[in-house]
Structure 1
Amino acid sequence: MRILVVGAGAIGGYFGGRLMEKGEDVTFLVREKRKQQLDQDGLVIESVYGDLKLKPKTLLSGENAGSFDVILVSTKSYQLNGAMESFRSYVSENTMILPLLNGYAYLDKLLSEFGEERVLGGLCFIEATLDSSGKILQTSPAHDLVFGERSGEKTERILKLQDSFSGTKASFTLSENIEQEMWNKYLFITTVAGITSLFRSPIGPILEQEHGLKTIQKLLNETAAIMKEIKAPIDINIEETQLKRIIGLSYGMKSSLQRDMEKQQPTEADHFFGYFLQHAAEKGIEAPVLSAIYANLTVYGAGLLPLK
């Protein structure tokens, strides 16, 4: 299969690199600066599962390359509009679009632009970052990508994609219930990103504090209550499950949103927390911890210098 990875950042670069390592036909759609970096230094990954240095195929938006069988989208949610324009010409009638974005609101944009039949469900769990030299640093055991038809069907095309994704050093898993898994992850990542950005700390020191743990529990309960009110397909005992998972995280674990703040970059505050607070207001649900997190990120965002 011809695979197009939109961007070569921490997530797309890592999973695309593992597919390249296996021998799959992978191309990275990048901007000029990243293309120059990759042409000069290669795609460099330092990982607990083994380091890689690869010479990737790259593509600039607008260049002629025909259509691709699958397009893997792993941009920030606020970059989605620009990303869609960059890969639109590489979409054909049979192209599968696999988004790995945070949140859920982005899905409506993709469906509106490309149609129900082209958009798969997807998510990933990975702690990775891009350093100043363009190197991808993958630092914890989790490097999981989950995908599937949003209907849950095992279609011919999704089984073909499963075959392409199999046999890599990363974990690619076909799900028959991807919608539920996406919402479950949304709860998890909202809690972890929210709490680490609020406390400006890795998860370990927060869990050690009595009131830190209580705040995590309150945030889980607030977010799950909103999800249940809007009929999201989450697990029945999701709060308990996710709390156990959070408690089991490595001591120094940081969310990608927290890392963005440390780099003085924009965050996905609206896509994580603004989305839920809008629904909470419509349903008359009090969400004080979510509100505090959103206010914290809004104040932070207002202080950022305009991007050049």
Structure 2
Amino acid sequence: MKIAIMGSGGIGGYFGAQLAQKTDNDVWFVARGPHLQAIRENGLQVKSEVGETVVFPAQATDNPKDIGPVDIVVFAVKLYSVDEAAEQCRPLVSEQTGVISFQNGIGSEERIDDILGPGHAIGGIVYAPLAIEAPGIIRHTGNLARLTVGELSGARSERLQSFVSACRAAEIEASMSENITQVLWEKFVFLASFSGITCLTRQPIGFTQEDPFARELFEHALREAVAVAQAEAIMLDDGFVEKTMAFAMGMGANAQSSMLTDLQNGRPLENAWLSGKIVELARKHKINAPVHQAFFTAMKPFEAVT
């Protein structure tokens, strides 16, 4: 397959590196600035407790026209960059190209199809603590690194089956879902709440695991988000909150949201697309969501800090 990584940060850089290093797929990285320069000069490096990967030389550019049409675009940019990045994808997209959206929130797939035309967007979920440690270097913490993808129609398309097969050949834990919208919402409910509590406390999840007040606040946030999901006709499994609490309480104490990492490093935040989206939808359905409103409001002064 010919694969373009649009956004070669934590997610795109990590999974792209595995595909480039461990398979014979034609993998291209779209990056910019010092990160692109470092990749060109020293290769793309992944530092992980489960093994390090170096792709050198790496096919890297800041101009998608250098790449041309591909089979799959791994679309892994921040939520506030979706529209701009989707426009930049035009040279990568042919009639059959799939654009797998690995975003934290909900609704990116619709924005991609609005820009590139219907039928290109594919839903994607990544479960992995990943971040750019330094230009050209991706840091993977722990041993969790898996992804789930699915056509919005639920079809088991040839393009998606080929991508999943490529991932498995690269020793990536990958699966396909026939109900990706539900899976996207499940992660969104968790991530909006997880990002909110870690950013509000300025602490990794270990603080919430140990502090009963923070733990209660996190559970209230989950219940608010579940109520919003139900109002949007997304029926989450019975016991979803309890299962999600158990998952969060079992995470490594140093695990933190990518939004907290961005906050600590003075980068723009995805606040408006996480707790902000919960608040927006809660108001639409006349649901009270005071915890997410507090999360959203507390982070507003830092949303655009650079």
TM-score bracket relative to the smaller structure = over 0.9
Matching residue of 1:227: 229
Distance in 2 (CA, whole Å) between partners of 1:233 and 1:92 is 35
Select 2:281's aligned residue among 265, 279, 282. 279
**Helix, strand or coil: the match of 1:81?**
helix
**Helix, strand or coil: the match of 1:166?**
helix
- Work out whether 1:38 is the aligned partner of 2:46: no
Matching residue of 2:248: 246
> Residue 212 and residue 295 in structure 1: after superposition, are their counterparts in 2 closer, same or farther (change >3 A)?
same
Once the two structures are overlaid, the 10-residue window that deviates more, 184-193 or 24-33, is 24-33
**Helix, strand or coil: the match of 2:278?**
helix
**Amino acid of the structure 1 residue aligned with 2:170:** T
**Helix, strand or coil: the match of 2:113?**
helix
By how many angstroms is 1:85 displaced?
Answer: 2.0
Matching residue of 2:198: 196
**Helix, strand or coil: the match of 1:251?**
coil
TM-score of the superposed pair, with normalisation by structure 1: 0.94
Matched positions, count: 304
By how many angstroms is 1:39 displaced?
Answer: 1.1
**Amino acid of the structure 2 residue aligned with 1:167:** A
- Work out whether 1:166 is the aligned partner of 2:194: no
Residue segments in structure 1 that go unaligned for 5+ positions in a row:
none
By how many angstroms is 1:201 displaced?
Answer: 0.3
Within 5 Å, give how 1:289-304 maps onto structure 2.
Answer: 289-301=291-303, 304=305
**Helix, strand or coil: the match of 1:265?**
coil
| Cα distance per residue 1:185-234 (max 9 Å; x no partner) | 11111111111001100101221111111111111111111111121243
By how many angstroms is 1:157 displaced?
Answer: 2.5
Query: Does the 8 Å contact 1:49/1:169 carry over to 2?
Result: no
Select 1:129's aligned residue among 122, 131, 135. 131
By how many angstroms is 1:301 displaced?
Answer: 3.0
- Work out whether 1:21 is the aligned partner of 2:21: yes
**Amino acid of the structure 2 residue aligned with 1:193:** S
- Root-mean-square deviation (CA, aligned residues, Å) is 1.5
Matching residue of 1:51: 52
Distance in 2 (CA, whole Å) between partners of 1:133 and 1:165 is 25
**Helix, strand or coil: the match of 1:21?**
helix
Select 2:145's aligned residue among 143, 155, 161. 143
By how many angstroms is 1:150 displaced?
Answer: 1.7
By how many angstroms is 1:257 displaced?
Answer: 0.3
Once the two structures are overlaid, the 10-residue window that deviates more, 194-203 or 236-245, is 236-245
Matching residue of 1:12: 12
Distance in 2 (CA, whole Å) between partners of 1:266 and 1:150 is 29
**Amino acid of the structure 1 residue aligned with 2:36:** K
TM-score of the superposed pair, with normalisation by structure 2: 0.95
Once the two structures are overlaid, the 10-residue window that deviates more, 149-158 or 2-11, is 149-158
